[in-house]
Amino acid sequence: MQAQITTTMDLESLRLSADSACRLMKALSNPDRLLLLCQLTEGEKRVGELEALVGIAQPTLSQQLGVLRDEGLVTTRREGKNIHYQIASPQALAVMQTLFEQFCAPKEAFHAD
């Protein structure tokens, strides 16, 4: 009986983890959101900075930042008229670092010997 309960609990824990991972991957599946998070891996940025860095028009930028905020991936801080964004999710940061290593980091030149 105890083994059955432990297995059921482990399965439930795995389901919750899978749900969290799927929500994260869904949020990352949009190119604009991916670009925004990529910029935020370097640290906190103002909305105007993000707009200039990723070339996303203000309405789309606001919408995509809202999705990231609603998913708990970023947090905001207001300073006067400026809103600053930063990554709030350690999981999102870890995934972004892996994506950078796999897709964005400079590749060493291949030398045939």
Going from N- to C-terminal start, the domains of the chain cover 2-103
Tokens representing residue 77 in the block: 């801080």
Spelled out in words, what is the top-level CATH class assigned to the domain 2-103? mainly alpha
pLDDT score of 102: 87
Tokens representing residue 11 in the block: 């399965």
Residues (pLDDT < 70) of the chain are 1-9, 108-113
What is the distance between the alpha carbons of residues 70 and 74, in angstroms, rounded to a whole number? 8
Largest CA distance in the chain: 62
Give the rounded distance of the alpha carbon of 93 from its chain centre: 6
Each residue's pLDDT tens digit, 46-69: 999 999 999 999 999 999 999 999
pLDDT score of 106: 76
pLDDT score of 104: 80
Specify the amino acid at residue 42.
E
Rounded (10°) CA dihedral 78, 54, 51, 21 = -40
Specify the pTM. 0.80
